[in-house]
Amino acid sequence: MHAALSKFFGFRSFRPHQEEIVQAILDDRDAFAVMPTGGGKSLCYQLPAAMKKGVCIVVSPLISLMKDQVDAANANGLRAGTLNSMTTASEREHVGNAIRAGELDLLYVSPERFNTGLFIERLKTIDIAFFAIDEAHCISSWGHDFRPDYLALSRIVSEFPNIPIAAFTATATPQVSQDILQRLGLRKPHITRASFNRKNLFYAVQPKKNVDQQILAFLQDRLRNRKNESGIIYRTSRKNVEATAEFLQSKGFKAKPYHAGMPDQQRNAIQDEFLQDDCPIIVATIAFGMGIDKPNVRFVLHGDLPKNIEGYYQETGRAGRDGELAQCVLFFGRQDIVMLSYFIKQIEDDEAQKIARMQLNQMIHFAEHDACRRVSLLAYFGESFSETDCNHCDICSGDVDRVDATIEAQKALSAMHRTGGRFGAGHITDILLGEKTEKVLERGHDRLPTFGVGKEHNKVYWRNLISALLAQGLARVEDLEYPVPKVTDEGWKVLRNQREFQIIRQQSGERAATQKKKSRSRGGR
């Protein structure tokens, strides 16, 4: 195995987990590996593909990346080919001949191609070593990148009962993992779950005010003594991508826009400039970055709230691939929630809409979470981080500004308790503000002692405070879809004056309200 590793890849040692996965595949076992981006998943199937008799069928979702993968494999001395909708007739013939002659190690196919009956019948006539499913989370509707074509891969176990399957992903919450195992029907697989902790990334969340100015201030500070450092700035809409890029150019920064609405040629040119350090800063929608392996990205900024944590993790994960320190800053304002919720409401499929809403809630929770960012990110992936202080996020390093809000917490917790923990944050807020809404009157909540005790603050304040109570575990919701906060034991300590409560200082509600109006009319990615 080690000899093959150095012969084909020129590497002297395995990265964590690679060896055990390669071994499992060599032993003809099914395998399932969850490893972060950049962890070296390709090698886990390419190496056994080179060592085993027969061809490894690699299913991979992006035709645009397939050619690069094939080229990279060929450059390592592996014999790789591809069949997808872009393949010409002569290439197809060439690949077909190579397979029949037993001269191919890896055949990359798109799921659409796999899903044709004829193709499956053809595959049955050749000597297959094993199937490798790359980006396996695409099979799960809980994942962030569900592709219905991947569902066809459930057929592998019945159509090819004797051939092992190895599945790989970088984005698997425990739920997505279960989905992958079940839908692929893996048989007693060797399961690997690598740590998702990126020690060298510093995570911070800052209240979003005038985001272009904030990005500018960040760059001025960061690049003062390190002019040519590379970074990616994510924005949600194409319009904002262009506006931010233009703004930064006008301030003398080498920044270029990138989004799916630009002509291919121009996009590719900009991507190449970025990879070659000619243009150090890219302002992009999430269309940018898939398959990009640039080691020296020193910062990733998010000008807008991402839709889900997986996306956020992938995007920030493009920083610091070389293991050197890198910075990730998310500018978070509640106005973004309004916009994202609006887009979620447009999703027609009910199930997909429900999932999108839950994912957004988790993202909001992360941004508002008044505890170590690393702990909450890792918790999302089902990983616990035992050190109490990561020392490498805004919270642990004491960068955030805190204010006491014990009295306010008591008011809100009391309203939750007195209404039996059966009402959402909106209703609790109405009670605190003394709003005589239909629901308040109907339930007689205007007669509660807490009715109207929170008039000194506005709605935005109370919504934030309730989020902070949830984030710090003083209240808890059991069902994210119908989030009704209930007081926890820790919350009772605040109610009984046994502990204090602090929140991160917030931007004022007025500002949030005016920004909300501006952020309404934005386009897609």
Q: Which residues bind ligand ADP (CB under 6 A)?
A: 11, 14-15, 18, 35, 37-43, 170, 293
* Nearer CB in complex with Mg ion: 48/207: 48
From Mg ion, ligand ADP, none, which one binds at residue 203 (CB under 5 to 8 Å depending on kind)? none
From the list 520, 516, 525, the residue with the least C-alpha distance to 334 is: 516
Q: Closest approach of Cβ 59 to Mg ion, in Å?
A: 12
Q: Cβ closer to Mg ion: 43 or 460?
A: 43
Q: How far is CA 268 from CA 237, 247, 281, 422, in A?
A: 19, 22, 15, 53
CA–CA separation, 73 and 52 (whole Å): 16
- b/e map 175-207, b = 16+ CB within 10 Å: ebbebbbebbebeebbbbbbebbbeebbbbbbb
Quick one: which segment of 35-43, 171-179, 238-246, 495-503 binds Mg ion (CB under 5 A)? Answer: 35-43
Query: Considering beta carbons, is residue 35 or 123 the nearer one to ligand ADP?
Result: 35
The two tokens of residue 467 are 């989020």
DSSP β-ladder status, 255-258 and 281-284: parallel
Please count the CA atoms within 13 angstroms of the CA of 457 that sit on its side-chain side: 24
Q: Nearer to ligand ADP by C-beta: 37 or 467?
A: 37
Please give the full DSSP string across 342-354, using - where no structure is assigned.
HHHHT--SHHHHH
CB 258 within 8 A of CB 284: yes
Minimum distance from residue 65 beta carbon to Mg ion (Å): 9
Task: Name the minimum Å distance from CB 135 to Mg ion.
Answer: 7
When CB distances are held under 5 to 8 angstroms depending on the partner's kind, the choice from ligand ADP, Mg ion, none that residue 238 binds is: none
Least distance (Å) between residue 340 CB and ligand ADP: 27
Which of Mg ion, ligand ADP, none does residue 37 bind to, with CB < 5 to 8 Å depending on kind?
Answer: ligand ADP
Closer residue to Mg ion, CB minimum distance, 33 or 484: 33
Residue 343 touches which of ligand ADP, Mg ion, none (CB < 5 to 8 A by kind)?
A: none
- Residue 317: CB minimum distance to ligand ADP, A: 9
Binders in 36-55 for Mg ion, by CB under 5 A: 41
- Chain position whose Cβ is nearest to ligand ADP: 40
Nearest to 136 by CA among 175, 102, 179, 174: 179
Identify which of residues 18 and 316 has a Cβ nearer to ligand ADP in the complex.
18
* Complete DSSP assignment for 405-474: -HHHHHHHHHHHHHTTT-S-HHHHHHHHHT---HHHHHTTGGGSTTTTTTTTS-HHHHHHHHHHHHHTTS
Cα(45)–Cα(431) distance, rounded to whole angstroms?
A: 58
Cβ atoms of residues 334 and 358 within 8 Å: no
If the CB atoms of residues 277 and 404 are measured against ligand ADP, the closer one turns out to be: 277
Q: Which of 71, 22, 81 is nearest to 47 (CA)?
A: 22
**Among the listed residues 362, 319, 322, the one whose alpha carbon sits nearest the alpha carbon of residue 202:** 319
Give min distance, CB of 372 to ligand ADP, in A.
25
Task: Please state the closest distance from residue 102 (CB atom) to ligand ADP, in A.
Answer: 26
Min dist. Cβ of residue 168 to ligand ADP (A): 7
Q: Smallest distance, Å, CB 123 to ligand ADP? A: 24
User: Which position's Cβ is nearest Mg ion?
Assistant: 41
Measure the CA–CA gap between 303 and 375, rounded to whole angstroms: 23
Contacting residues for 391 by C-beta, under 8 A, at least 6 apart: 397
Measured from the CB of residue 10, what is the shortest distance to ligand ADP in angstroms? 9
- Interface with Mg ion (CB under 5 A), residue total 1
Taking the least distance from each CB to ligand ADP, the nearer of 36 and 333 is 36
Size of the chain in residues: 525
Which of 377, 453 has the CB closer to ligand ADP?
A: 377
Beta carbon of residue 463, minimum distance to ligand ADP (angstroms, whole number): 38
DSSP secondary structure string for all residues of 211-262: HHHHHHHHHHHHTSS-TT-EEEEE-SSHHHHHHHHHHHHHTT--EEEE-TTS
Dihedral pair phi/psi, residue 92, rounded to 5°? -60, -45
Partner from ligand ADP, Mg ion, none binding residue 39, C-beta < 5-8 Å depending on class: ligand ADP
Nearest to 165 by CA among 142, 188, 145: 188
Nearer residue to ligand ADP within complex by CB, 4 or 441: 4
Amino acid at 271: Q
Please count the other Cβ atoms lying within 10 Å of the Cβ belonging to residue 90. Answer: 8
173 binds, among Mg ion, ligand ADP, none (CB under 5 to 8 A by kind): none
- Spell out where 38-158 has E strands: 55-59, 80-83, 106-109, 128-133
Cβ 169 to ligand ADP, closest distance in Å? 9
Residue closer to Mg ion (CB basis): 31 or 494: 31
Q: Cβ closer to ligand ADP: 106 or 474?
A: 106
* Chain residues in the site for Mg ion (CB under 5 A): 41
